[in-house]
Amino acid sequence: MIEIAENKCDFCGCCVGVCPVNCIEVMEADIRIEHEICIDCDICVYVCPIEVLSQTDSKKSSSAAA
């Protein structure tokens, strides 16, 4: 699952632009992910310029890195 470090986010929307299933919502000062729709592709984790997002499923992240 994608975890959000909420107090770090700058609400820039970079992650929204790349999400293949359009399940991230960024407002003026709030960010939400619809976890039921998320396909855990981790692309949002890679693009975030300030490491707000992380993949909590360690098996998933290690296989993605491989």
Partner 1 sequence: MWKDQKKFDCIVVGGGPAGSTFARVAAEGGLSVLLLEKDRDIGVPVRCGEAVSDAGLRIFHEPNPRWIASTINRIKLVAPNETVVEFDLHQKGYILDRRIFDYDLAEFASAAGAQIVTKAYIDGLIIEDDKVVGVRGTHVGERFEKRAKIVVGADGVESRVGRWAGLNTTVKLKDMECGIQKTVTGIDVNEHMFDFYLSRKWAPGGYLWVFPKGKHKANIGLAISGYYAKDGKAAHKFLDEFMAWKYPNASVLTTVVGGVPVAKTVKQMVMDGLMLIGDAARTVNPVTGGGIIPGMRSGLLAAETAVKSLNNGGPTRKNLTPYEKAWHKIGGKNHERFYRIKETIFRFTDDDLNRIADGIANVPEDGRSLLKLFTIAASKKPSLLIDVARVFTGI
> Is residue 64 part of the contact set for ligand SF4 (CB under 6 A)?
no
> Is residue 36 part of the contact set for partner 1 (CB under 8 A)?
no
Residue 38 sits in the site that holds partner 1 (CB under 8 A): no
What six digits make up the tokens of 40?
């855990």
Least separation in angstroms between CB 35 and partner 1:
18
Name the nearest CA neighbour of 53 among 64, 40, 44, 63: 44
Among residues 25, 30, 32, 50, the one that binds ligand SF4 under rule CB under 6 A: 50
Query: Rounded to whole angstroms, how far apart are CA atoms 3 and 57?
Result: 10
